[in-house]
Structure 1
Amino acid sequence: MFLAHRPGMTTKAIETPEDAQGAAWLDLLDPTEQELELAESLCGQKLPTLDDLNAIESSSRISVRKGVAFLSSPLLKRNGSEYITSPVGFVLTDERLFTIRFLPYQAFETVAQLVSDHPAMPTAATAGAQPHVVLHAGEILVALIETIVDRLADILETMGNLLDALSHDIFRPSQQGPQMRTTASRQRDLLQRVGSAGSFCSRMRDTLLGMERIALFLSESRKTASAAPAPGFSLSSRQISTTQQPLTETDARAAIYTLSGAQRARITTVSRDLSSLDAYVSQAQDKVEFLLDATLGFINIDQNGVMKVLTVVSFIGVAPTLIAGIYGMNFKDMPELSWSFGYWYSLSLMAATIVLPLIWFWRKGWLGGIK
């Protein structure tokens, strides 16, 4: 889909160049070749494909060509019970923001609603009626990044609760309910959950790293005086208020794709948020490693218990086998062969060699007895 987001209007699909007039944000969602060609004609430059957005080099994820900034990052998304990442691209020009994504994201829907709720730009007939604020591409990009970071924080909070539940199940397993699951199936389930948590942390780290690079690039930017947005309405899903800072002479000489002072201040706040989320992910990764070691430790304990039982079984079978082997030899002069109680004597001797070791192992605690 190729969508146009305009202030004061609902989202509209773009089929011709005229459909994109007046839209500061053009959104490509899993575009077809025809939609990509139309977007490239509107942008004036070749837009990145899925393979381009999947590139991991820093120069591929952040680049500037002919005054246009090309930014990309993997973005985490929940897919059922699993978390996946898909690349997202941002192309920031002086007049428009192009976004390229291949999966729907709630953050984009949230900002699209914010754009629709934004006061519409005045027409020529009503220009003197009310001083509306022009919505620029940089404002939309900052709002998108803020909303994405807020969404990532919500996902991290959910994962923190899941890790707490996993820790409880490992160290204090519930004894309620039917005992239908074997120890092996329970341990397999725990290992799968730990593995999923580790995969989540890795994908979240990739997402945060990509967003940190974008935030750093934008926070160091400057914007020309002709392209700077006017003070007034601040498009943001966060409950913050910023005032427009006057542009300096340095701002006027800067690149056209960069942001104004107020937007850079918001991006700086986002950078601090990303740093705190990165620290949280590091702590979560340490916890996942600890839970993995704990799970493997409990598996080793269970395996040692099984080996103890096998050791006891093999040990108590040695002496009776030896006695049966001795009296099974057909030598001519064996005193017990002519003894009327010889059979019962050998059986009693074998029984004693079984019972006495069992009592000894029980007292040692191998069979759940005295510790």
Structure 2
Amino acid sequence: MIRRYLNADGRLRLDDRPGDAIDGIVWFDLLSPTAEEAAGLEAKLGVDLPTREEMEEIEVSSRLYYEDGAAFMTATLPAQADRDNPLMAPVTFVLAADRLVTIRYHEPRAFQTFPMRAEKVAMGCTNGEVVLVALLEAIVDRIADILERAGRDIDGISHDVFQHKEVMRTTSRNFQAVLEAIGRKGDLISNIRDSLVTLERLIGFLGQATTHRKSDKDIRSRVKTLARDARSLTDHASFLSQKITFLLDASLGMINIEQNAIIKIFSVAAVAFLPPTLIASVYGMNFHFMPELEWPWGYPLAILLMVISAALPLWYFWRRGWL
């Protein structure tokens, strides 16, 4: 499918004209294009559009290059990022003369929100270069929103890990759920960091392209701002990644503490019941000549000895602060 957007006094308007005329069109948005659609647009613009396999190449030379006077830039962008497992796929931006061509096989949120906003607000979308910069700004804003939401979720996980002792006594913490949540957030942040790395490379390449094309000073300034924003988001993603690592280590430490507490209870119980067991074993022997067998108060005395022998270790452990 190909969406065509016209320049309407600095706004974007979806082209609904019949036929294949390209006059006034500043942005061709290709969503899962067929071979026929791609070939037809290539013939009109005079450029060779990359295939899906070429878009997925990881070499920088395959993602950022000039060909036939057009600049080709590919970045990995997230879609369906409201979940912890976003769909990550490459998106190619082709700046050919005064037109922008985007090729994608998934639906990043910015490609839905940006055209609607550009249709209502005059953003100066008079050519493909301005559209590209404004679209990249929307993409960076979307990634910032994803990181902000992830940061709030990580703060919630931190509260679950380090919740107050009073809460710990009344609730049973499910550390398996906590570890699963940490793992999901770790995967999300890792994907976003990978996306930001490709965006930083793309924006750096775009900065060189705007200099080569002798673009307006305003465009070059906005590209520099984009580069700073992407770099700051990368730093924030690194901070969140370090926090996730800390929470993982802390959760494992909490699990060890609780396991040690359980083992301590069993150890104390074993020590406390060892003397009563010894007394019961002694008087459970069936020898005929045992002086205590003839005592009228032998049985109550044995019970009393077992209680005292169990209470004394417990009292000692309590005084030492081990309980």
Matches within 5 A, 1:186-265: 187-222=175-210, 251=214, 259-265=215-221
Alpha-carbon distance in 2 for matches of 1:164, 1:46:
47
Shift of 1:289: 2.1
Please show how residues 94-105 of structure 1 align to structure 2 within 5 Å.
Answer: 94-105=97-108
Q: Which residue, 64, 85, 91 being the options, matches 1:88?
A: 91
Which residue pairs with 2:319 in the alignment?
363
For 2:203 and 2:105, the matched residues in 1 are separated by 22
Q: Kindly indicate whether residue 157 of structure 2 is the aligned counterpart of residue 155 of structure 1.
A: no
Listed as ranges, the gaps of 5+ residues in structure 1 are 120-132, 229-250, 252-258
Query: Normalising to structure 1: TM-score of the pair?
Result: 0.74
Aligned to 2:2: 2
Moved more, 213-222 or 80-89: 80-89
Distance 1:33 1:340, change over 3 A: farther
300-309 or 326-335: which moved more?
A: 326-335
SS at 1:346's partner residue?
helix
Q: CA deviation at 1:332?
A: 4.1
CA RMSD, Structure 1 to Structure 2 (Å): 3.0
- Report the equivalent of 1:122: none
- Larger deviation, residues 305-314 vs 166-175: 166-175
Contact 1:5/1:26, CA 8 A, preserved across alignment = yes
| Residue 77, structure 1, aligned to residue 79, structure 2 | yes
Report if aligned partners of 1:64, 1:70 keep a CA contact under 8 Å in 2.
yes
Matching residue of 1:58 = 60
Distance in 1 between the 2:240 and 2:259 partners? 28
Q: Which whole-Å CA distance do the structure 1 matches of 2:40 and 2:299 have between them?
A: 99
Alignment match, 1:168: 159
Q: CA deviation at 1:78?
A: 4.2
User: Which amino acid letter does the alignment assign opposite residue 31 of structure 1?
Assistant: P
Alpha-carbon deviation of 1:328?
A: 2.8
- CA 1:33–1:314: 2 relative to 1, 3 Å: farther
1:308 corresponds to 2:264: yes
SS at match of 2:209: coil
Code of the aligned partner of 1:112: P
Check whether the contact 2:125–2:131 (CA below 8 A) recurs between aligned residues. Answer: no
Q: Is the 8 A contact 1:208 1:278 kept in 2?
A: yes
Q: 1:326 to 1:38 in 2, by over 3 A?
A: farther
Task: Name the counterpart of 1:333.
Answer: 289
Task: For 1:100 and 1:14, locate their aligned partners in 2 and report how far apart those are by CA, in whole Å.
Answer: 22
Q: 1:174 to 1:147 in 2, by over 3 A?
A: farther
Relative to 1, partners in 2 of residues 1:337 and 1:50: Cα closer, same or farther, differing over 3 Å? farther
Displacement of 1:71 in angstroms is 1.3
Shift of residue 19, structure 1, vs aligned partner = 5.0
Whole-Å Cα distance in 1 between the matches of residues 161 and 16 of structure 2? 50
Residues 75, 304 of structure 1: alpha-carbon distance in 2 compared, 3 angstrom cutoff: same
Alignment of 1:273-288 (within 5 A): 273-288=229-244
User: Does residue 111 of the first structure (1) align with residue 101 of the second (2)?
Assistant: no
Q: Would you say the 8 A contact 1:220–1:264 is kept in 2? A: no
Change (3 A) 1:46 1:173: farther
Using the TM superposition, give the Cα deviation of residue 175 of structure 1 relative to its aligned residue in structure 2, in angstroms: 6.4
CA shift, 1:339, in A, is 3.2
CA contact (8 A) 2:84 2:187 kept: no
Cα deviation, residue 261, structure 1:
4.5
Verify the 8 A CA contact 1:319 1:353 in the aligned structure 2.
yes
Aligned residue in 2 for 1:242: none
> 1:19–1:333: structure 2 CA closer, same or farther, 3 Å change rule?
farther
How many percent of aligned residue pairs carry the same amino acid?
A: 37
Distance 1:39 1:342, change over 3 A: farther
Post-superposition CA distance 1:49-81 (Å, at most 9, x none): 444333322222212333332211111334443
Q: 1:317 to 1:37 in 2, by over 3 A?
A: farther
1:201-220 Cα distance to aligned partner (Å, 9 max, x none)? 21121111111101111112
Q: Is residue 201 of structure 2 the alignment partner of residue 182 of structure 1?
A: no
* Aligned mates of 1:333, 1:118 — CA distance in 2: 106
Shift of 1:43: 4.4
Tell me if the contact between 1:320 and 1:353 (Cα under 8 Å) persists in the aligned partners.
yes
Task: Judging by fraction of residues, say which structure has more helix.
Answer: 2
Are the equivalent residues in 1 in contact too, given 2:81–2:146 (CA < 8 A)? no
Aligned match of 2:222: 266
Deviations, residues 236-295 of structure 1 (Å, cap 9, x unaligned) = xxxxxxxxxxxxxxx5xxxxxxx5554223211211111222222222222222222222
Measure how far apart 1:146 and its partner are.
Answer: 1.7
**Contact 1:77-1:83 within 8 A present in 2 as well:** no
Contact 1:52–1:60 (CA under 8 A) maintained in structure 2 = yes
Q: Determine if contact 1:6/1:24 at 8 Å carries over to the other structure.
A: yes
> 1:142 and 2:133 equivalent?
yes
How many Å separate the matches in 2 of 1:333 and 1:291? 65
How many residue pairs get aligned? The number is: 316
Shift in CA distance, 173/204, structure 1 to aligned 2, threshold 3 Å: farther
TM-score of the aligned structures, taking structure 2 as reference length: 0.84
